[in-house]
Amino acid sequence: MLNSKCRMCGRQITFVKTAAGRNMPVEVRQEFYRVQADGPDTFITGVGKVFRGKIVGPNDNPDGFAWIPHWGHCPGANKLKSARKAVKAAKERKEPVFVCEQTTFMEE
């Protein structure tokens, strides 16, 4: 298991290998879940199985516990999305775009 820091928000994250062999960034702490096909949350187990469900408390009759992807809970993700949108809009208006060093990855 690989520990790392999210480059958007600086929070500690870890990686779980999905069944497809890709590393998925997840929250360090595992959550209790109940399986629910149309649930609001995505979960990934230690063997890389990804499924939908709902985060529940330990006393809410959970089906088990699993990791949750970091991208759904990253405080930096929304910021990045709106920043990307702002850069794109400015370019469409043919305005000069200034990006600070920290945000140069938006140009990728």
Contacts to Zn ion by CB under 5 A: 6, 8-9, 74, 76
Q: State the minimum distance, in angstroms, from the CB of residue 10 to Zn ion.
A: 7
Kindly tell me the number of DSSP H helices and DSSP E strands found in the chain.
Answer: 1, 7
Q: State the minimum distance, in angstroms, from the CB of residue 15 to Zn ion.
A: 13
How many CA within 13 A on the CB side of residue 96? 1
Q: State the minimum distance, in angstroms, from the CB of residue 91 to Zn ion.
A: 25
Q: Which is nearer to Zn ion, 59 or 104 (CB)?
A: 104
Q: Which is nearer to Zn ion, 9 or 50 (CB)?
A: 9
Of 95, 9, 92, 86, give the one whose Cα is nearest residue 106. 86
Q: Which is nearer to Zn ion, 35 or 77 (CB)?
A: 77
Beta carbons of 10 and 21 less than 8 angstroms apart: no
